[in-house]
Structure 1
């Protein structure tokens, strides 16, 4: 299967991957033949691209690194914990949150177990989900990215658990921010931005008082918007005062924010999001963390159509562990013409060829 923009979808194309609605229930099942009304509905829901199955991409496997049911359970528990803050009274908030956090820790261990069993590069199919609340899906995705980075950095299990829990709860302070400000489509006023920035402080204040959450985990909420050069918030601290967990979260948080639909802009493809992070290497983001991210996460996911530096076009067929920028490419076009018989080029073995750009509007027939 391969990734394609909904702008160029045609009736008769076959959906390659199930799309889930806001309740994590199947909206369109894999294998369905798309009709014009289905395509119009996807565009209305602001789905930008989907996986389709066709002859040229036959046999290319695209699967999420962590199963759907684990994702569903994780998001359900986070929703439960976050909503408890909005509805509970201050005096019983800590006790209630400690109970919720125990459930989240249990879910986290399930995520870590799944990731340990899957030794491939981390792949998140963000195109497969239509969500009603960005914060929960974002927190889940950021958790996977942080764990992938932590594993590449060879952090011990206890530290991975602290980091993973911090990632799942890093935005919990947003429950104390006015929802109209969080969801505002236009530019924020200075006062509104100051309110948004306070979510880091709110989150820290909530988490540091929980007996079953370490202070380092609480600092994930406190510091994930700090930047190496002191330009971050809430305190504007510099590299030496930012904990490693926060440096990891900073990369994961920005990458997922860029590759997710937001109320004020459309999402980017992973390679484009990485360029933004690379532009801040050494000034905003830790270079060692960025390198670990590139080692553990699929920057060019399977099924993505790319153009090579020599002009050929192809579909990412497989990943090469540890070299995410050099996957195996199934060539489908050369010299501007669709090839009769596809063939593969392993970019890890052909160092004179690189990926020049991505193309999700490419039609092979």
Structure 2
């Protein structure tokens, strides 16, 4: 199957992977033949990319680290827990959160087991799911990325669990931000941005007095927007003052934010998100954490068409666990001509060949 932009989706194409709604029900089933009403509906839902079945990508499979049923159950549990907190007054929120902590820990432990039991680099398909509440699936994804980073860095199981809980709850303070600010589709005013930044303090205050979770979890919420050069918030901490767990969650938070669909901007590809973090490595972000992210997540998802530096087009066929930035590819075009017989090779074996472009708008010409 192949990943294409919604802009080039046409009637008659065949859906390669199911899209799920927030209730965990199929919104668009695999193998459905695309029609114009389907295309219009996907645009309304702000879907940017879709997997299709076609000849050049035949047999290429895309598997998430966490299966859809597990993901849907986790996000549903996060939703229930967070919604119960939203329904109470601010001074009761910590009490309700304490009651919900066991369910949250269970979610984290399930996700942790999924990552530890997988030898593959982390794959998350953000376009395969439709959620009304960004906060809930963002919390899920930041947890996954944080655990993957910490695993790559060699943390113990107990630390991985704490990092996962801290990641799951890193934005819990946003439940106390006025919804008209939290969900505003346009750029925030300076006053609104100042209010938004308070979510780190709100989260710390919600979490620091809980009996059921470590105080480190509260500091993850408090510090995940701090930057090692002192330019972050809320306290302008520098490198050694920021807890290592918060550094990990901060990188995971940025990576998910730029690679997820938002109403006010298009998502970036994982490789582009990694490039943003690499640009800030050693100044904004801990270089060890950025390196661990780079080694633990997919850069170019399977089914992605790439333009190579030698004027060949290829589709990513398999990941390379040694260097995720150099996947295995299937060449299907040379010098703008479709070739009769495709062939595969690993970019890792040919360091002189570079990836020039990601081409999700590629259309096969008959």
Query: What is the Cα deviation at residue 99 of structure 1?
Result: 2.2
Pairing of 1:316-327 with structure 2 (within 5 A): 316-327=316-327
1:277 match: 277
Pairing of 1:281-360 with structure 2 (within 5 A): 281-360=281-360
1:65 match: 65
* Residue 94 of structure 2 is aligned to residue 94 of structure 1: yes
- Structure 1 CA distance for aligned equivalents of residues 302 and 124 of structure 2: 11
* Residue 364 of structure 2 is aligned to residue 364 of structure 1: yes
Contact kept, 8 Å, 2:329 with 2:344, in 1: the verdict is: yes
* Residue 10 of structure 2 is aligned to residue 18 of structure 1: no
Greater than 6 Å deviation, 4+ residue runs: none
The unaligned stretches of length 5 or more in structure 2 are none
**71-80 vs 317-326, greater mean Cα deviation:** 71-80
Normalization by structure 1: what TM-score? 0.97
Per-residue CA shift, 1:115-136, capped at 9, x if unaligned? 1222111010011111101000
- Structure 2 CA distance for aligned equivalents of residues 58 and 255 of structure 1: 30
Pairing of 1:207-286 with structure 2 (within 5 A): 207-286=207-286
The unaligned stretches of length 5 or more in structure 1 are none
Structure 1 counterpart SS, 2:175: helix
Q: CA RMSD, aligned part only? A: 1.2
Structure 1 counterpart SS, 2:32: coil
Contact kept, 8 Å, 1:86 with 1:175, in 2: the verdict is: yes
Structure 1 counterpart SS, 2:97: helix
Structure 1 counterpart SS, 2:33: coil
Query: What is the Cα deviation at residue 91 of structure 1?
Result: 5.7
Structure 1 counterpart SS, 2:247: helix
Per-residue CA shift, 1:143-188, capped at 9, x if unaligned? 1100110100010000000000011111100000001101112221
Structure 2 counterpart SS, 1:187: coil
- Structure 2 CA distance for aligned equivalents of residues 104 and 70 of structure 1: 14
- Structure 2 CA distance for aligned equivalents of residues 27 and 85 of structure 1: 28
Query: What is the Cα deviation at residue 39 of structure 1?
Result: 1.2
- Structure 1 CA distance for aligned equivalents of residues 10 and 189 of structure 2: 42
- Structure 2 CA distance for aligned equivalents of residues 182 and 120 of structure 1: 35
- Structure 2 CA distance for aligned equivalents of residues 322 and 199 of structure 1: 38
- Structure 1 CA distance for aligned equivalents of residues 45 and 105 of structure 2: 33
Contact kept, 8 Å, 1:77 with 1:100, in 2: the verdict is: no
2:117 match: 117
Aligned length: 365
